[in-house]
Amino acid sequence: MKETSLTDPIGQNLIKLIGNVCFSIFVFSVLIFTVIAITYQPPDPWLESSRALTRAFTEVENATFKTDNSVVNTGEDLVAVPPSISSTSAVTITEAAIEKSEEKIVNSSSPLNCDDAFKDINCSDPHVLIAIQKFNPRVFKSIAFLEYQIPVNGSKPNECDVAWRFRNKKEKSWRKYRDFRRFRLGIGENCSYKVTWAGGWHSGINARRPRSRINSTRSSGATRISPAFRDDEINDTIPTVGSEAFKKGRYLYYSRGGDYCKGMNHYLWSFLCGLGEAQYLNRTFVMDLSICLAANYNPSNKDEEGKDFRYYFDFEHLKEVASIVEEGEFLRDWKKLDRARKKKVPIRKVASYKVRPMQLKKDKSTIIWRQFDAPEPDNYWYRVCEGQAAKYVQRPWHALWKSKRLMNIVSEISGRMDWDFDAVHVVRGEKVQNKELWPHLDSDTSPDALLVKLRGMIQPWRNLYVATNEPFYNYFDKLRSQYKVHLLDDYKELWGENSEWFNETKLLNTGHPVDFDGYMRVAVDTEVLYRAKTRVETFYNLTKDCKDGINTC
């Protein structure tokens, strides 16, 4: 009996000790899980974490952004957009489709007479189009051909002009571009047509579709004002709302904050935060089309206000994939509705970014009005999406494409090199002057050093496009001894007074000419660079200096 009384308390104490240890482990595990749940950042739309994308696109440092002359990647550079998203989607014409069309033609029409076939070519003959469709994919391997027009007569009896729409395989959007070329035809096997010669980019002028002219007038003097053309494939008109539709809508309105006149990367990071919050709240985002372009993109080295969003980005695509309303239209309809009704439109004013999107999810107000009146950096739009909000609000990068007008220039430059070119990206500018951060950059990008490096990577006498911020045009003349060198300034007429770009942007700017500014230049340079067959980078191929300075590799 005494032994039992002695051992029972020991057993009970041991059981209690084990229970306390297990409970402590359980509590500690719950604590760890809670911390992980709070700090975890889910993947963003294109398979990278938002933290990684923040580093890649913006380089956040103390809630402000480093500004440089780089161009942020947009939706068409990052993730393929399903054709169903875009109204301009089309099916690529494959070899199998061409063979199927040829079989139909053979079965439904009489065969060609070899004696008479080339005395007077009928360009509208389906056999002609089949010959051109077979030829193009073999020559232009980087192009996906989408649809052809019926060929028309060229300048000689054995020549035909034909237009088609295409997209570049390296561009992940499904926008269509247009080319028209002249082809010389000869006789092939089995008495069929074959292409013996093809003209250059836009050489088939008889197949060019006439564009509609807008307000073509003469000035009071002898000089004629260049006619304004509208690209019928671009619809970036501002949509109207109307009072009745306004009543039924729910809106998220951001007042202008400290992001204005910051670098374009900063602007986009903030803009997509606002658009992402609107989508999370299932509201229409009120959008200010006016952009202030930061000084580092302007030759004057001054901020320039009054730039139009549509100069830089594809407003038509944005309208298709996101619910937006232009700020001017929104304010007009708001005032009209307030005047027409005794009861004012319900508004929820939010004074601080610290009021998170999750707290506004159930708000029934017609307008949620975020106001950014605090001093910097607390008046930046992107602060709304920081912290826990990053788990709920995803930036819709797929909604942001570069302007089709700029991309038309990219296609024009690439097409003039027949889509068969290599490119080198030469970063110089202010960085070569900062020897502390980039001690070798100047010497590593000197003409002699460039020639030595490129000889080992690019075959001689290839088309070589040089994308650069080097201001002196003749700096790369030594490369001309080995390559057919192309620079952006070789194509100035594409944004000059007689260009489509000039006339179309002029229409957007109420009849005033638009400067082809620094951001546009880098955007075009970058996109041409992406389309090269071989791409040589400054901070990967040309120099051992780090992209962001010493010890940042």
Q: What is the pLDDT of residue 111?
A: 62
Pairwise CA distance, residues 384 & 386, whole Å: 6
How far separated are the first and last CA of the chain, in Å rounded?
A: 77
In the structure encoding, which two tokens stand for residue 279, read together? Answer: 């989508």
Q: How far apart are CA 301 and CA 258, in angstroms?
A: 19
3-state secondary structure 298-340: CCCCCCEEEEEHHHHECHHHHHHHCCEEEHHHHHHHHHHHHHH
CB 320 within 8 A of CB 87: yes
The pLDDT, as a whole number, for residue 205 is 94
For residue 114, what pLDDT is reported? 67
CA angle centred on 404, ends 398 and 408, rounded to 5°: 135
Please state, in angstroms and rounded to a whole number, the distance separating the CA atoms of residues 110 and 122. 14
| The 3-state secondary structure of 473-534, one letter per residue | HHHHHHHHHCCEEEEHHHHHHHCCCCCHHHHHHHHHCCCCCCCCCHHHHHHHHHHHHHCCCC
Q: Where are the alpha helices (DSSP H) in 140-218?
A: none
pLDDT at 120: 73
DSSP designation for 389: G
The CA distance from 51 to 481, in Å, is 46
CA dihedral 439, 445, 449, 453 (to 10 degrees): 110
Q: Under 8 Å CB-to-CB from 348, ≥6 apart: which residues? A: 360, 363, 365, 367, 368, 369
Domains, the chain: 51-83+235-399 (no CATH), 89-207 (no CATH), 404-542 (3.40.50)
β-strand pairing of 64-65 with 60-61: antiparallel
pLDDT, mean of each 10-residue run, the chain (553 residues): 52 71 72 54 36 43 44 72 49 81 71 62 91 94 93 93 93 88 88 91 90 44 40 81 84 96 94 97 97 91 95 95 95 88 89 96 96 94 95 94 95 95 94 94 96 96 96 96 97 96 94 95 94 94 92 83
The whole-number pLDDT of residue 226 equals 39
449 backbone φψ class: left, alpha, beta (φ>0; ψ -120 to 50): alpha
Residue 242, pLDDT score: 79
CA-derived radius of gyration, the chain: 30
Residue pair 175/407 in contact (Cβ under 8 Å)? The answer is yes
